[in-house]
Copies of this chain bind each other. A is one copy, B any other.
Amino acid sequence: MINRICIVGVGLIGGSLARALKSAGACKEIVGTSRNRQHLQTAKDLNVIDRLETSLSAAVKDADIVVVAVPVGAMEAVITSLATCLSEKTVLTDVGSTKCSVIEAVENAFGQVPTNFVPAHPIAGTEKTGVEAAVDDLYKGRRVIITPVESTSRDAIAQIQSMWEQVGAEVTQMTATHHDEVLAATSHLPHLLAYSLVDTLSHMDEKTEIFKYAAGGFRDFTRIASSDPTMWHDICLANADAMLAVLEKFSGDLKILERAIRDKDSQCLLDVFQRAKKSRDTFCNE
């Protein structure tokens, strides 16, 4: 059993990890800290954390593991502060949706990437935010990607892998660059498209009518546009290179479909739609 875990940023992701660890009996004490005193108090009141600390250095003291679960845009500031107060015995990890940017921030703050830093990303979440939405089964059956650098300690990786496995997640490893490419394609670009489409429609003259006649398919398609705007702004900028690369591919392919509609190129449309249906039915079998 882990003696003490400190969670920095107790929102949906950090709070759900805390709840899951407690529910699994995986940790003796969970300490929470946050820049927002009120969120932190809510986390304590809801019994998501055992102890709250408003000072980062007090919070991380004697922790076996420190999990940075703040939004991607706040990572750099938190990591910079951690560099001044983290014991070498503590394993540091994060839950950021982009990994190259976090590793870079750690390198900048610590001078080099510490061997006991394990970059990680649990692929879970909903369009909700905040500790009130935290649940103890958020990670059950979900994937966590660990993106170590060459110097990352095997023992530190094993500790973080074990932590996630104890809350029901399936852990895999890949490079940070590869992670950022894969997530740009499956998560970051879809969010950008959903936000963009809803914004386009909300500028049309028939705005009210447009949404009035939106059926179930539209609701599913645009659900992710109800996600936290600041969080996704952070992610788009933190993963800009991979985003731009996949966006360019997508825009090029969309141009081909546009041309096919204009030229009444039946075969092209059918080919794309059939291939897409087949891929989705195969990979997202529900």
Query: B-contacting residues of A (Cβ < 8 Å)?
Result: 123-127, 142-143, 145, 174, 178, 181-183, 185-187, 189-204, 206-230, 232-233, 236-237, 240, 243-244, 246-247, 249-251, 253-255, 257-258, 261-262, 264, 266, 269-270, 272-277, 279-284, 286
Contacts and interface: CB of A to CB of B under 8 A. Distances in A.
Contacts of A250: 196-197, 200
29 contacts: A125-B217, A181-B206, A182-B206, A182-B209, A182-B213, A185-B201, A187-B214, A187-B218, A190-B217, A191-B217, A194-B221, A195-B273, A195-B276, A198-B280, A200-B249, A200-B253, A211-B279, A211-B283, A214-B283, A217-B224, A219-B286, A220-B221, A221-B223, A226-B277, A230-B273, A236-B261, A236-B269, A251-B251, A251-B254
A222 B190 CA distance: 9
A225 B142 contact: no
A242 B14 CA distance: 45
Given A178-B206, A195-B273, A217-B223, 17 more contacts: A123-B213, A186-B218, A193-B254, A196-B272, A197-B250, A199-B276, A200-B250, A202-B276, A204-B249, A208-B283, A217-B227, A218-B284, A225-B280, A229-B273, A230-B273, A240-B262, A247-B261
Nearest to A127: B217
A221 B224 contact: yes
A125 B215 contact: yes
A229 B286 contact: no
B283 A261 contact: no
A227 B124 contact: no
Contacts of A273: 195, 229-230, 232-233
A204 to B, nearest CB: 6
Nearest to A220: B220
Contacts of A192: 254, 257
Nearest to A273: B229
Contacts of A208: 283
A251 B250 CA distance: 11
Interface centre among A124, A243, A255, A277 (most CB of B within 10 A): A277
A279 to B, nearest CB: 4
A185 B125 CA distance: 28
A233 B279 contact: no
Given A145-B213, A186-B210, A270 B230 contact: yes
B229 A274 contact: yes
Contacts of A230: 270, 273
A258 B253 contact: no
Given A210-B182, A244-B258, A262-B240, A197 B193 contact: yes
Given A215-B124, A229-B273, A279 B190 contact: no
